[in-house]
Amino acid sequence: METILIVDDEKNYLVVLEALLGAEGYEIVTANDAKAALATVREADLDLVITDMKMPGMSGMDLLEECKKTKPELPVIMMTAFGTIEMAVEAMKKHAYDYIEKPFENEQIKQTIKKALENYRLVKENRLLTEALSDRYRYGNMIGKSKPVLKVYDLIDKVSRSKASVLITGSSGTGKELVAKAIHYQGPRKDRPFISINCGALTETLLESELFGHEKGAFTGAVAMKKGRFELADEGTLFLDEVGEMPPSLQVKLLRVLQEMEFERVGGTRTIKVDVRVLSASNRNINVDVSNGAFREDLYYRLNVIHIDVPSLQERIDDIPLLVRHFIKKFQNNGKEKKIELSPEVWKAFYSYPWPGNIRELENVIERAMVLNSGETITIDVLPEQLTGAKTEFDVERFIPPNVPLQKALEEIEERLVRRALAQSNNVQAHAAKNLGITKSLIQHKMKKYKIIV
């Protein structure tokens, strides 16, 4: 049921309108001065406000302004007495939805209200849709809650609000592009474009015209003017992927754009001003290129105002069960929502394999397994060779840093095993305990000890 607030200092009008609109099935709230009305606007979940213009104390116009400040979308209809029509025009300028003249025709006021409510419903639906869309991009659909990833999320939250340049590093397939998108879609630029360009995939001349655009006739083949990515990303974000591959001549140009936020198209003389947030990524250590002169140091510092290092899958091995479940869902043919399990050998292989291709490799392995597998359990024979041939012994050197006291090392391993057992059993404590060969109360004790919350 939709709720309408009626505001008038004349009690008669309140009574008449309440009866008229109540009969239409709306829920009616009334106030006989603007102050009380404002309190209701702030607290209640209203769909429409109808207010008289002239009231002692705070006027209807003031109320309109306050409403627009607190709830800009909430429609407000003004009631004007004879002779205050200029004020009604003024109110429309201040974004009143409509006005009605007193005394009013019942049919007319009912129609106006119906239209206002319909319009508001559309506005709300629209907002919910956009919210749902941007929610989908919260951390850009990133899965994982291991400690190193929580740190990345935290950094994303912090940097998304600022305009500072961020350099995202990490091995291939760790999710650098996903991090860049998360920063963009969580920040104030989210309704503006996210434009990306791979600096390693294009020749120098092509890269230049892709970045800065070109004028008609700038070079053979330039049959028309073309805007560059910097122009397309205006007020939004430009993601420079594999920035370490950028040739030196373009590094100079890029530095100038980052400093001045202006440039000319290739073959052009007009200076173009833009407002672009720059994020960049590299799977190589650019530090090395800086020290051997292949990458300009000044540019490196411009790009690397904030540094986010995305952990490899090996460093976030605790996330494997979550990622596996996520990808199984992704590659499950719609409609066939069978529960797919992994055989114990598959889990073992997943935990001992070093995953040089990181999350992308895991994703590919699951996609392949889903195609080749026929039953409800993914078995070892549908895994690619590199996984089945993997060494399955526990490699102490890899997991435990040197000189860790034995007790601490054992606790570290214990914590991981408990977390893993819980994740693999969908957080059903009894199952996890059974798989670990311990009692349910013991697993609960361990969860408390390691502060594991499921």
Query: Which one, 62 or 177, has the nearer CB to Mg ion?
Result: 177
If one asks whether residue 143 binds ligand ATP (CB under 6 A), the answer comes out as yes
Binding residues for Mg ion restricted to 120-179, rule: CB under 5 A? 177
- The least distance separating ligand ATP from the CB of residue 201, rounded to whole angstroms, comes to 11
If one asks whether residue 144 binds ligand ATP (CB under 6 A), the answer comes out as yes
Q: Nearest to residue 228, comparing CAs of 247, 214, 248?
A: 214
Q: Which stretch binds ligand ATP (CB under 6 A): 19-27, 355-363, 397-405, 418-426?
A: 355-363
Count Cα atoms within 13 angstroms, Cβ side, for 227: 10
Binding-site member from 60, 75, 175, 236 for ligand ATP (CB under 6 A): 175
Question: Helix 248-260 crosses helix 204-212 at what angle (to 10 degrees)?
Answer: 10
Angle, vertex CA 154, rays to CA 151 and CA 160, nearest 5: 135
For ligand ATP, the nearest residue by Cβ is 175
Query: Which one, 91 or 279, has the nearer CB to Mg ion?
Result: 279
Question: Helix 320-331 crosses helix 344-352 at what angle (to 10 degrees)?
Answer: 120
Query: Which one, 177 or 309, has the nearer CB to Mg ion?
Result: 177
Cα separation of 314 and 355, whole Å? 7
How does DSSP assign 327-375, residue by residue?
Answer: HHHHHSPTT--PPPEE-HHHHHHHHHS--TTHHHHHHHHHHHHHHH--S
| Cβ–Cβ < 8 Å for 328, 370 | yes
53 binds, options Mg ion, ligand ATP, none, Cβ within 5 to 8 A by partner type = none
Binding-site member from 142, 246, 349, 366 for ligand ATP (CB under 6 A): 142
Task: Give the length of the chain.
Answer: 454
Binding residues for ligand ATP restricted to 264-283, rule: CB under 6 A? 283
Cα separation of 199 and 286, whole Å? 14
Cα separation of 52 and 56, whole Å? 11
Q: Nearest to residue 98, comparing CAs of 44, 37, 48?
A: 48
Binding-site member from 38, 116, 178, 320 for ligand ATP (CB under 6 A): 178
- The least distance separating ligand ATP from the CB of residue 368, rounded to whole angstroms, comes to 14
Give per-residue burial for 27-47: e unless 16+ CB within 10 Å, then b. Answer: ebbbbbbbeebbebbeeeebb
Binding residues for Mg ion restricted to 175-214, rule: CB under 5 A? 177
Binding-site member from 37, 46, 166, 359 for ligand ATP (CB under 6 A): 359
x/- mask, ligand ATP, residues 380-419, rule CB under 6 A, reads ----------------------------------------
Query: Which one, 33 or 177, has the nearer CB to Mg ion?
Result: 177
Query: Which one, 314 or 379, has the nearer CB to ligand ATP?
Result: 314
- The least distance separating ligand ATP from the CB of residue 258, rounded to whole angstroms, comes to 21
How does DSSP assign 25-76, residue by residue?
Answer: T-EEEEESSHHHHHHHHHHS--SEEEEES--SSS-HHHHHHHHHHH-TTS-E
Binding-site member from 84, 160, 174, 304 for ligand ATP (CB under 6 A): 174
Query: Which one, 104 or 331, has the nearer CB to ligand ATP?
Result: 331
**What is the token pair recorded at 313?**
């899958």
Cα separation of 259 and 265, whole Å? 17
CA dihedral 47, 42, 133, 237 (to 10 degrees): 130
Query: Which one, 98 or 177, has the nearer CB to Mg ion?
Result: 177
| Cβ–Cβ < 8 Å for 98, 116 | yes
Binding residues for ligand ATP restricted to 302-341, rule: CB under 6 A? 326
Q: What is the bridge-based pairing of β-strands 76-80 and 48-52?
A: parallel
Number of residues binding to Mg ion, judged by CB under 5 A: 1
- The least distance separating Mg ion from the CB of residue 22, rounded to whole angstroms, comes to 60
Number of residues binding to ligand ATP, judged by CB under 6 A: 16
For Mg ion, the nearest residue by Cβ is 177
Query: Which one, 344 or 356, has the nearer CB to ligand ATP?
Result: 356
283 binds, options Mg ion, ligand ATP, none, Cβ within 5 to 8 A by partner type = ligand ATP
| Cβ–Cβ < 8 Å for 352, 390 | yes
316 binds, options ligand ATP, Mg ion, none, Cβ within 5 to 8 A by partner type = none
What does the binding site for ligand ATP look like in residue numbers (CB under 6 A)? 142-144, 170, 172-178, 283, 326, 359-360, 363
What does the binding site for Mg ion look like in residue numbers (CB under 5 A)? 177
